[in-house]
């Protein structure tokens, strides 16, 4: 029995020793390992992300039920949440739009200061009246959202259902600029931040 134990201990020691040697990787193997890790990280980026594009306030309480105004513009915060969404190449971003906004996407590398805010157009719907100025800079623009003035109207002709979803697909890696096409929103004001964010595709 004693000899058997000795042999077992020796065999265990050899296995442990072999294991010790096996985890010392050659540079090539280490590089392969880190490449696999990078691949895994890429793979771990989600296929899609949700971006809240404008948010309704809840403090103090905001009641949108009739007869209240469901789209009280003074109760909307001009935010993109998260401000930077991360997805994998080939994925999509679900822009959940609350309020009078127009998601517009510019190609990789475009910065907010690159946008020509003097290149504009006007909303085309009957409301709001007067019409609202929209940015219309086509340089490196890869997606322009719907005219927010063309959402379904109520019987009184007031813009009624501004809230909606627009889903945009991104095929190539890089960081994209997303702005609100409503010029006053993009520029910001005393009470609202400039309305833009980013989508990073890995
Ligand atoms: Cu906006």
Sequence spans of domains, the chain? 46-201
Answer whether 26's CB lies under 8 Å from 44's CB.
Answer: no
Q: How far, in Å, from the CA of 21 to the mean position of ligand 1?
A: 60
In which residue ranges of the chain is pLDDT below 50? 1-6, 8-23
* pTM (two decimals): 0.78
CA–CA gap between residue 186 and residue 196 (Å, rounded): 7
- What are 131's two structure tokens? 């019409």
DSSP tag of 182 = B
DSSP tag of 183 = H
The pLDDT value given to residue 193: 97
Q: Which residues surround the ion ligand 1 when the cut-off is CB under 5 Å?
A: 101, 180, 182, 185, 195
The pLDDT value given to residue 5: 47
- What are 63's two structure tokens? 């009641």
CA–CA gap between residue 159 and residue 162 (Å, rounded): 7
Q: Would you give the distance in Å from CA 131 to the centre of its chain?
A: 28
The pLDDT value given to residue 18: 43
165 beta partners: 96
Q: How far, in Å, from the CA of 78 to the mean position of ligand 1?
A: 6
The pLDDT value given to residue 20: 42
Answer whether 52's CB lies under 8 Å from 85's CB.
Answer: no
- What are 116's two structure tokens? 């020509």
Nearest to 180 by CA among 77, 47, 86: 77
Q: How far, in Å, from the CA of 17 to the mean position of ligand 1?
A: 64
Please write down the long-range contacts of 13-17, taking CB distance under 8 Å and 24 or more positions apart. Answer: none
Q: How far, in Å, from the CA of 191 to the mean position of ligand 1?
A: 13
The pLDDT value given to residue 152: 75
CA–CA gap between residue 179 and residue 51 (Å, rounded): 12
Please tell me the CATH superfamily of domain 46-201, with its number.
Cupredoxins -  blue copper proteins (2.60.40.420)
The pLDDT value given to residue 69: 85
Q: How far, in Å, from the CA of 91 to the mean position of ligand 1?
A: 24
């Amino acid at each position: 029995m004693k000899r058997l134990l000795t042999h077992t201990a020796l065999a265990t020691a050899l296995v442990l020793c072999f294991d010790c040697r096996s985890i010392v990787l050659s540079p090539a193997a280490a590089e392969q390992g880190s490449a696999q890790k990078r691949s895994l990280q890429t793979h771990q980026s989600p296929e899609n992300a949700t971006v809240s594009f404008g948010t309704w306030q809840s403090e103090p309480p905001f009641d949108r039920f009739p007869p209240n105004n469901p789209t009280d513009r003074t109760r909307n915060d001009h935010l993109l949440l998260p401000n930077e969404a991360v997805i994998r190449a080939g994925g999509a971003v679900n822009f959940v739009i609350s309020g009078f906004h127009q998601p517009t996407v510019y190609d990789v590398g475009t910065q907010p200061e690159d946008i020509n805010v003097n290149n504009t157009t006007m909303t085309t719907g009957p409301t709001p009246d007067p019409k609202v100025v929209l940015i219309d800079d086509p340089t490196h623009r890869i997606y322009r959202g719907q005219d927010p003035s063309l959402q379904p109207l109520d019987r009184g002709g007031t813009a009624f259902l501004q809230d909606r979803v627009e889903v945009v697909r991104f095929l190539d890696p890089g960081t994209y600029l997303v702005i609100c096409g409503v010029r006053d929103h993009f520029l910001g004001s005393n009470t609202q931040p400039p309305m833009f964010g980013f989508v990073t595709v890995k």
